[in-house]
Structure 1
Amino acid sequence: MKFRLYLAVLMSGIMSLLMSGWITFINVGITSNFLTLWAAAWCLAWPVAGLVAFTFGPSAQKLSAWLAKKS
């Protein structure tokens, strides 16, 4: 359980950081307040991403194992 929690926190943190940065860049470009907007977007995205990763992680892992076995 501890491993699953750490994995969900780390993966969701990395993914939400990169995706919020990319989407913020697409929406506003590089402006003087880009980092502030990015940080705000990341703070909103990370908790949701963490919950999704923790909730659906086991199902995604099973599906990935099944797909790997099929190919």
Structure 2
Amino acid sequence: MISRKYERVVFAFFMSLFMSFIMSFIISIINLGFVDGFMYKWMKAFGLAFMCAFPIIFVVAPIVHKIVHKLMKNID
């Protein structure tokens, strides 16, 4: 297993992997439809999206976590 000290990196990796995979598919379908070479075009878009998404999520996720934490109401 992976050490807890790498949790932020592992979270950013998997979140960006899944989100860029799904979003690149949806956007590719919307923009292109199922054309010849769709898989290649989608995988190219996915690769580019993942390269952007990983560092963005790594930086933004802790900020979002703090915002959500401040917005949540404690009910005890």
TM-score normalised by the chain length of structure 1: 0.91
Choose which of 26, 32, 38 in structure 2 pairs with 1:34. 38
How much does 1:40 deviate? 0.2
Letter in 2 for 1:56: V
How far, CA to CA, are the matches of 2:72 and 2:53 in structure 1? Answer: 25
Give the total of aligned pairs.
Answer: 70
Letter in 2 for 1:54: F
**Is the helix fraction higher in 1 or 2?**
1
Q: Larger Rg: 1 or 2?
A: 2
Structure 1 unpaired stretches of 5+: none
TM-score normalised by the chain length of structure 2: 0.85
SS in 2 for 1:63: helix
Q: Which residue of 2 aligns with 1:54?
A: 58
Letter in 1 for 2:70: W
Give the percent of matched residue pairs that are identical in Structure 1 and Structure 2. 33
Q: Which residue of 1 aligns with 2:6?
A: 2
Letter in 1 for 2:15: M
What CA RMSD, in Å, does the superposition of the two structures yield over aligned residues?
1.3
